[in-house]
Amino acid sequence: MSKRLRSSEMCADCSGPDPSWASVNRGTFICDECCSVHRSLGRHISQVRHLKHTPWPPTLLQMVETLYNNGANSIWEHSLLDPASIMSGRRKANPQDKVHPNKAEFIRAKYQMLAFVHRLPCRDDDSVTAKDLSKQLHSSVRTGNLETCLRLLSLGAQANFFHPEKGNTPLHVASKAGQILQAELLAVYGADPGTQDSSGKTPVDYARQGGHHELADRLVEIQYELTDRLAFYLCGRKPDHKNGQHFIIPQMADSSLDLSELAKAAKKKLQSLSNHLFEELAMDVYDEVDRRETDAVWLATQNHSTLVTETTVVPFLPVNPEYSSTRNQGRQKLARFNAHEFATLVIDILSDAKRRQQGSPLSGSKDNVELILKTINNQHSIESQDNDQPDYDSVASDEDTDLEATASKANRQKSLDSDLSDGPVTVQEFMEVKNALVASEAKIQQLMKASRLEKQNSTPESDYDNTPNDTDADDMGSSRKGRQRSMVWQGDGSIPDMAEPSMAPSPSLPSTEDVIRKTEQITKNIQELLRAAQENKHDSYSPCSERIHLAVTEMAALFPKKPKSDTVKTSLHLLTSSAYRLQLECKKALPGDCSPPSDIQLVTQQVIQCAYDIAKAAKQLVTITTKENNN
């Protein structure tokens, strides 16, 4: 358990006093407010633990404290320490700053974009640089200099690097030298304690041969960390690894209840996954356990009389841009599982993990993780009114989970209005957005042809209607790191309505062809905006946004002023408000308004996010009108 922090310690991000959380992989201590932003970024960016109310392996906490005390924060704020940064107007957040946008923007720049880390000189062959860094890491872990190794990892050194000449990994070296804190750091960055060297020995073998028995025992714990965490979540116990017990399979108190057909199908598909893809699913469930447990600690430690929406729970797993759209959607739908359903899934994973390690075979494996993820996606299709729109922001935990003991439903509802579910889209991803828009445009053309054929042949169906939404090629979910609530409205509290339609509002929805035509216009303008982003033509942002705004206004004018359908209302609101926000963001890119490079990059992220929201809303309206007009 953690030792008490010294009163002199400060939050690494805003310098506030008495930080009560740690970012394990960054080696920093942070305050409640900054932690709320860290949690919204996801564990792939920052792994947070409460210093007093979360169980800690002692050497893991010692590792974080050592990094913090030896200036690990300077790794993430390297360029801010340069006196020239003060002249440029760049500064870190301070305790008086608002969480949004001030602290949030700084923290995202610092950890998500790595805007302030030391940059190596550009080289043509990046792989050579990574190899050199990894060799330095391989050599450095034999010493106790943790911050040097963290700096190398921050620059791209690989924790699992296999040294071709030495025939082993950095974790083998650290284990042989008895460097338990280096082993903790390497494990946090993904080093595998089960990796064999060229002689077939693991880091555990190295530690035992060197007489480092505490390290050897800890490496075994790390090896089983995932399944240990899942078991502890359900029953509060961990296996006794020293005595050869490596798994605990909790039993459901109501196990006599019949499982639903969906649950049975999910279990079979889970068992049919290859080992690699099963591990990916287990990691996703591990992340969801971490989210639920951290939420419970978070809510239990907050002053609920002053709790505000900026710092409430994170309602579902933030998007990891390295994962596929389907995997991200499946991860976020885990938040909708109630306590019984989630416990059932955890037990199934623990049981199958044990079976796989013991080598018990099943029928042939399938290298398609989509099977289990789609089952998760469809688990609540009956309850969810908009399940045919598999958008990241549609899976907030609006059902009760196992947090009742620490939070009221009102507090959980606040979390739905929070903008903490993930970070912004990065500018590097705009090509994926563009490609998705191209696919969308092709789909629109296909739909228009189908609509014309329908008029000619009186055929009720179209290809578009029969395409399952969770596999749509034009689903832009695959191309963003975030979802819609990443932008808090900064105006006077209300988003202005679009211009009044010049024509009298129609009592019914417009024709599909008219909606498609306007959507094509919007899509082409968005593509032009994305080209400007690609070519760094920031002065083109505003003219592009004006054209998009005009096209959106024309499209909105097609619909009744007060549509009967809530789905239409929601899509129209997203369309028009995103167009308005886009104009505001694009104005920030005008010369003189946004000179620092990091600021223009943040603006570009918001511009791309708004463009995505507009395109998605237009697509939704096309889908709605097509279905309504075909009925």
Quick one: which of 281, 234, 290 has its CA closest to 42? 290
Q: What is the mean pLDDT of residues 604-609?
A: 76
Q: How many CB atoms lie within 10 A of CB 627?
A: 15
Say yes or no: 237 and 322 in one domain: no
- What gap in Å lies between CA 36 and CA 30, rounded to an integer? 10
* Most confidently predicted of 211-215, 277-281, 427-431, 621-625: 211-215
DSSP character at residue 236: S
CATH assignment of the domain containing 202: 1.25.40.20
pLDDT tens digit string along 121-148?
766 566 668 899 999 999 999 999 999 9
Question: What are the residues facing 30 on neighbouring strands?
Answer: 21
- Domain contains 475: no
Predicted pLDDT of residue 209: 96
- Domain contains 255: no
Say yes or no: 292 and 211 in one domain: no
For tokens 């002199």, name the residue: 8
Q: Sheet containing 28-30: give its strands across.
A: 28-30, 21-23, 48-50
* Most confidently predicted of 88-92, 270-274, 283-287, 323-327: 283-287
Q: Residue 325 sits in which domain range? A: 261-358
Say yes or no: 228 and 285 in one domain: no
DSSP character at residue 559: S
Confidence of residue 214 (pLDDT cuts 50, 70, 90): very high
CATH assignment of the domain containing 32: 1.10.220.150
Per this entry, what is the length of the chain? 631
Say yes or no: 232 and 136 in one domain: yes
Confidence of residue 439 (pLDDT cuts 50, 70, 90): low
pLDDT tens digit string along 171-201?
999 999 999 999 999 999 999 999 999 999 9
- Domain contains 500: no
Say yes or no: 131 and 83 in one domain: no
- Domain contains 170: yes
- What gap in Å lies between CA 545 and CA 526, rounded to an integer? 8
pLDDT tens digit string along 486-509?
222 233 333 344 333 344 434 578
Say yes or no: 103 and 80 in one domain: yes
pLDDT tens digit string along 547-571?
999 999 999 989 988 888 888 888 8
Which helix (H) or strand (E) is 21 found in, with range? Answer: strand 21-23
Which helix (H) or strand (E) is 378 found in, with range? Answer: helix 370-378
Domain boundary among the residues 56, 78, 112 is at 112
Quick one: which of 501, 232, 215 has its CA closest to 350? 232
pLDDT at 438 over 70: no
| pTM for the whole structure | 0.59
Predicted pLDDT of residue 107: 96
- Do 160 and 192 meet the contact criterion of CB atoms below 8 Å apart? yes
Say yes or no: 163 and 209 in one domain: yes
- Domain contains 390: no
Q: Which pair of structure tokens corresponds to residue 237?
A: 């116990």
- Domain contains 435: no
Say yes or no: 585 and 521 in one domain: yes
- Do 426 and 113 meet the contact criterion of CB atoms below 8 Å apart? yes
pLDDT tens digit string along 18-77?
999 999 999 999 999 999 999 999 999 999 999 999 999 999 999 999 999 999 999 999
- Residue 405 CA to its chain's centroid (Å): 26
Question: What are the residues facing 49 on neighbouring strands?
Answer: 22
Say yes or no: 154 and 64 in one domain: no
Question: What are the residues facing 630 on neighbouring strands?
Answer: none
For tokens 């407010």, name the residue: 33
Maximum CA pair distance of the chain? Answer: 85
Say yes or no: 143 and 210 in one domain: yes
Quick one: which of 570, 589, 569, 577 has its CA closest to 552? 577
Say yes or no: 279 and 196 in one domain: no
Confidence of residue 8 (pLDDT cuts 50, 70, 90): low
Domain boundary among the residues 333, 358, 383 is at 358
- What gap in Å lies between CA 411 and CA 401, rounded to an integer? 13
- Domain contains 239: yes
DSSP letter string, 166-228: T-S-HHHHHHHTT-HHHHHHHHHTT--TT---TTS--HHHHHHHTT-HHHHHHHHHHHTHHHH
Say yes or no: 75 and 142 in one domain: no
CATH assignment of the domain containing 607: 1.20.120.330
Q: What is the mean pLDDT of residues 391-414?
A: 33
- Domain contains 468: no
- Do 245 and 239 meet the contact criterion of CB atoms below 8 Å apart? yes
Domain boundary among the residues 314, 333, 358 is at 358
Please count the structural domains in the chain. 4
- What gap in Å lies between CA 247 and CA 66, rounded to an integer? 32
CA atoms within 13 A on the CB side of 246: 16
Decide: residue 501, CB within 10 A, 0-12 exposed, 13-18 middle, 19+ buried: middle
Orientation of helix 430-457 relative to helix 597-630, angle to 10°: 20
Orientation of helix 180-188 relative to helix 58-69, angle to 10°: 90
CA distances 490 to 17, 274, 581, 587, 613, Å, are 28, 47, 10, 14, 17
pLDDT tens digit string along 295-327?
888 877 876 554 444 456 688 999 999 998 889
